[in-house]
Structure 1
Amino acid sequence: MRRLPLLLVALVAMLLPASCATGGSGVGAADAAVVNGVAISQQDLLDDLDALASNATVRSNLEAQGVAVYGPTEGSYSSAFSTQVLSSLVIDALIADELAQRGVEPTSEDRAQAEQQIGTSAGSFPQAFIDRQVTSLANRLALERELAAEPLGEVTDDEVRAYYDQNIDAIVERNGEFACLSHILVDTREQAEAALARIGAGEDFAALAREVSKDTGSASAGGDLGCQPRGQFVAAFEDAAFAATPGEVTGPVETEFGVHLLLVRAKGVPPFEEIATAIRQYLEQQRASGANPAFDAWLSDAVRRAEVTIDPKWGRWDPEQYPQVVVPPEGAASPTTSVPALLGPSDTAP
């Protein structure tokens, strides 16, 4: 399909109010977005859209993820594609703003490293686009180095809560519904019935699991198996777990391992209290591994604090969707993936 970028610019300009001027946090006639008072022009956005759409590898990768590149009319791009690219430009602007406030500039080593990384993955792009990507990546490398020099300290309760708030929907979408549960495993149905009778008489499930369960891996934790998505257990156990009423003891359930009593505490989206410990352990592991935890923490906070205005024809500002901080306009199809790592390293946690 032949793109008509100049025609698209003209059409966009015709739809904008001519009297608007960039100032403060308002969006001007030539702007796609304003980030902390700094404009991202519609021409910059269109240049990046043109450059990326012209690359067959990028198009193929996006389309394989269910993201259409082109819109319904000649010379247009889809909302899903446009908002992903604009999200990347917003994040680039936040990084540049932070460097300016700190009085830090990328070093020649930063730029050389950026050129090396971009050069290995750039493929066929216009040189102007490559130059912008090198500058953006060099800025990121400079900020990562600056932040890495600052002490991190322990993972805080606020960090754990923020990770849950920002990631739980994506985790559930990727894995399906969860069951948060405990179990007691015994050898025979008679033993399970006896344990069930003791629970019915008022004994605590966790205390009984510590006493009688033969699952040594969970008995010491009161039979706790954590929060698990489908596919983690044998069929009979899983069917019973996802059919159970939270708060009620289910069973006996027979499997190849023995006979189980189940106590499902929650189903669907795991409550924060159920997975806070696992999140803390994950964040501590990330911090210990040096996987850019300071940069990740800074960026998620910068997104929440940023003053951003988006031209409504391009999308809406939604920091809660980080890293997809610009989402399609109301009524437009939503993107099916987060911001892709089109060039350079990815911000997406495993």
Structure 2
Amino acid sequence: MPCEQADIVVIGGGPAGAAAALTLRRHAPHLRVVLFDAGRHELAKPGEILPAAAQGLLRQLGVWAPFLAATFVESRAVISSWGNEALDERPSIFSAHGAGWQLDRARFDRLMVQAASDAGVEVRLGTPVRSAVREGEGWSLELTDGKIIASAVIWATGRSWKLARSLGAKLRVHGHLAAYTRFFDGVPGDCRMVIEARPEGWWYSADLPGERRAVSCLTDPDLGSELRDPKSWYHVLAATQFIAPLLPQGARETAASVNSAGTATIDPAAGHRWIAAGDCLFCADPLSSRGIVHALRSGILAAYAASDIIDGRGELARTRYAMIASQGFADYIPALAAHYAAAAQWDTAFWQRRRLRSEQQPATDTHQENMQRSGFRRSLGKGGTG
């Protein structure tokens, strides 16, 4: 079986993995960096909002120009019905950073990986890492047709934790949620995302480039199993007040997906010559609007930590990285519980569970204080699925 060596292997080609690889090429260009991804970014993914504040990160990574050239849909407003029947519209014009973007995630991921390749990263798509075994001071990673020895590993496989046991990490699940999404063509957009709380959970609809639209229902997996069936999904959609009217009669469904959207963390955040990044480190509920920005930031920080490990400062790098990761999670759970409790007007299983979680949070924290401390106060205004 052929074997090769690399200084740092990045496992995962999403925003976190690509950001880590790009940062390494800029920060430590002498290192050999190889990025593996099991897929090829061909499948449809739920649309997400990227806040305008991400512009600084994209510039830092050197991908601002190709990002603009991709002509993603500008997000001019988020409209939500949350906690009452009235619509709340938050135009991006009132944001200090301006308008964000409603992403085609598959296109965005391809853009990021291509930028990494152009920067000198060895990118190998369609190549899953099957296992990881300690070898000397580094890791031996088994591939489909060989193996590679890495001095350090950045683990950024999104919501896939198959390597956790091999690396000596433990997954901690803090909350379950699933997104039942369908994609449509022939839907003229208005550059707005719409969010609507419903008895079964909550819905969102977002424009995608090329007169396409993603529509998703988010609920607990045990409550939404019937939504896998198209008839059930459309039946529940028809009861929505603000989402269903967004699909004109000529809209054509092109794809469907079911994705995990709950909250989970990995413990520890970094181990012996490995660093977790992106959703693999901390995947958040879409309402927190932390998704892509968190992935980019954690990928950048993971790159610096991996470089420190290579330079013999592993203990300091792990300690510092773990501290940063824990700070980002400290107030997240009570803030999320309070945010859901604000809309818990239905006596259904989904909302009963959210009320219970809110009651279990410390009584000293008010709803407003929690939202302000963790960024939930304006989460819908920043993009509920970013």
| Interval containing the TM-score (normalised by the shorter chain) | under 0.3
Instruction: Select the structure that is richer in helix.
Output: 1
Superposition TM-score, scaled by structure 2 size: 0.22
Structure label with greater radius of gyration = 1
Which structure's residues are more often strand, by fraction?
Answer: 2
